[in-house]
Amino acid sequence: MNPNNISEFKNLSEFQSNGSDLIFKSTKMNLQKNSYEFSIHKLSKNKMINFKKSRNWNFSNPKFSKNDKLISFVKTPKSSEILDSLEKKKNSLKNYLIIKNGNSEKVIFDTEDSIVNYVWSENNEFIYVITKEWSDQFKKIENKADEPTVINKLPFRFDTTGVIYNKRFHIYKVKISSLKIEKIVDGDKESLLSISSLIEVGSDLYFIGSQHNHNGTMLEEHIIKLSKSKLIKISSGGMFNQIFSLQDKLYAVGLRKRFDWPTNTTILKVSENGKLIFLEHSFDRNVVSVKTHNNEIFCLYEDSGKTLLRNVSQKKTIIEEDITIKDFNFIGDDLYVIANSFSRPDEVFKLVNEKLERLSTVNDDFNNKVKTFDCAYRRINTGQSEIDTWGIFVGKNKPTLLNIHGGPASQYGYTFFDEFQTYASAGFNVIACNPRGSTGRGHDFLRDVCGRKWGVNDVHDVLTSFKKMIKIMGIENKNYGIMGGSYGGFMTSWVIGHYPKMFKSAVVERALLNWETMVGTSDIGIGFPEMYLLDDMNNNLNLYRKKSPITYANNIITPTLIIHSEKDYRCPVEQAEQLFSNLKRRSVDTTMIRFPDESHELSRSGKPNHRIQRFEWIINWHKKQLK
């Protein structure tokens, strides 16, 4: 797989069912237009249909009406912009919410701002639409890019989103028959900086909303109830990914307290007085998402590099294969999933006799054209821990790249990852692991890098599993490269600062390099450092400096490529500048690549041409240093 092949496979998502058919979205890169294409597909009687194909417009967020007769979707202008359109000048092209009935299509809502999400009412008479718009005060300014910004609260921006203080989220109620539109939640009046996971329960609406706290120093998430035009905060202080209902009871996926992180996100029962109770306290895995079917709860969860499906009500894992399940749905009692594996991208599968049978052919062209590699797997005993480790072997005399994931609360594993495939095709053996701090292994494993363990336990796991996997795979070439992004960038720079002769090449990408400056410049600078270092910087500045790779940068002699994005607000570009300046002053072989108009998500959702350029820089750098 070469870098250009990233435009030839499709990612599938937004899986919906009406009891007889399935619909889902596909995402594909267009290299010629340097943009992403969103199309909607329909699977009916095991036959694939291109329901809405991306040409001049993109189509997303398909949903069936509650009576399963109508299909709705969002139609948006194509764009090569990766940041929120509201970060730029106001978009002159509208976004549309459309209902399709047979061959007839009807626009029921449009806006020049953003349609975030929407839900059908249970009686099929209304659709509730969540929008993100300029605040009333800022909306009137024509040349927003030239307007000075007045900031008096934290946070004031988020990665991939840009500034947030001058944007508000609203909920509109659209009567489908008459197209009468009513704003039922006014984000300007309520100072709502986000709204997500809107659901209808009986005659009430519930949603997750965030506002600045009283001091303007943190965002607070609330579960909010809209009842008879009155907003009631049911629960505050937690961190929630999703809310859902079953038999008119309210549930949430997330954490009871924001500062419980890092730990497993879990399913919580939400009482009317806002009390949050664990649905299943003993299930020690990270819950990704939840759906209900036939009065039972089902969830996707992370486990040792896999993402699996579980019947929560029966406390039983339904599918337990070496795969990543991204979404699921039902037609009657039949279960369907979107899944991928280490060497094969997304497809739709049906569970038949406890085995997955592939139904879709979305990525057949890619599979037939592009060579991909399978993996070797071992759970390696490091002397302190058991670490899940993967490798791609291309030759005993080939150089090897150690990859370290971000987070650290995330996981590598049995998922189709374009980076591993591209590096292997370029002639490198690839090794990756999930050290302590990763998800998929439970609460204690997640927290075993906090405080003074940061840069200690995780480093031991990464380096020990790497050395042992080298021997297991029979690799004889001693030319090793190391690389990673975000937390992986922290780990890369930490390792080459503490073990300067172990690796001959390094790529430090979008890295956390200096905790002290991260506090003041990162969009999560208030909160995240304390969650992991377990102390406030004002109380323990020495700890923040001791746990920062920049403190040990004078030890680095490894040729180092530094990659960063100009609009990375998670790990701001000043982090990269500090390392580059140090290495350059000391005549260490280094180059810094800065991608314009990109965020922390460059490698995952950046402009296609930038993603290819990034691959080329990484491959060429390692080839030069490891020859």
Tell me what pLDDT residue 91 has.
Answer: 57
Tell me what pLDDT residue 92 has.
Answer: 67
516-534, pLDDT tens digit by residue?
999 999 999 999 999 999 9
Do the Cβ atoms of 19 and 7 come closer than 8 Å?
no
Question: What is the dihedral sign for C-alpha 278, 284, 285, 286?
Answer: positive
* pTM of the shown model: 0.96
Rounded distance between C-alpha atoms, residue 74 and residue 117, angstroms: 9
Tell whether the model's pLDDT for residue 88 goes beyond 90. no
Rounded distance between C-alpha atoms, residue 357 and residue 336, angstroms: 9
Do the Cβ atoms of 555 and 546 come closer than 8 Å?
no
Q: DSSP per residue over 38-96, as a string?
A: EEEEEEETTEEEEEE--SSEEEEEEEE-TTSS-EEEEEEE-----S-GGGSSPPSS-EE
Q: What percentage of residues in the chain have a pLDDT greater than 90?
A: 93
454-512, pLDDT tens digit by residue?
999 999 999 999 999 999 999 999 999 999 999 999 999 999 999 999 999 999 999 99
Phi-psi region of 538 (alpha: psi -120 to 50; beta: other; left: phi over 0): alpha
Do the Cβ atoms of 119 and 199 come closer than 8 Å?
yes
Domains, the chain, ranges and CATH? 373-625 (3.40.50.1820)
255-310, pLDDT tens digit by residue?
999 999 999 999 999 998 999 999 998 999 999 999 999 999 999 999 999 999 99
Do the Cβ atoms of 34 and 609 come closer than 8 Å?
yes
Average pLDDT over residues 229-246: 97
Rounded distance between C-alpha atoms, residue 111 and residue 118, angstroms: 13
437-458, pLDDT tens digit by residue?
999 999 999 999 999 999 999 9
Phi–psi pair at 561, nearest 5 degrees:
-95, 130
CA distances for 502 relative to 391, 489, 559, 592, angstroms: 19, 16, 12, 22
Tell whether the model's pLDDT for residue 89 goes beyond 70. no
Lowest mean pLDDT segment, chosen from 45-54, 150-159, 256-265: 45-54
Q: How far is CA 359 from the centre of its chain?
A: 26
Burial of 117 (0-12, 13-18, 19+ CB in 10 A): middle
Do the Cβ atoms of 404 and 434 come closer than 8 Å?
no
Helices 487-498 and 457-473 pack at an angle, to 10 degrees, of 80
Other beta carbons less than 10 A from residue 469's beta carbon: 25
Of 59, 55, 56, nearest to 26 by C-alpha is 59
Tell me what pLDDT residue 145 has.
Answer: 82
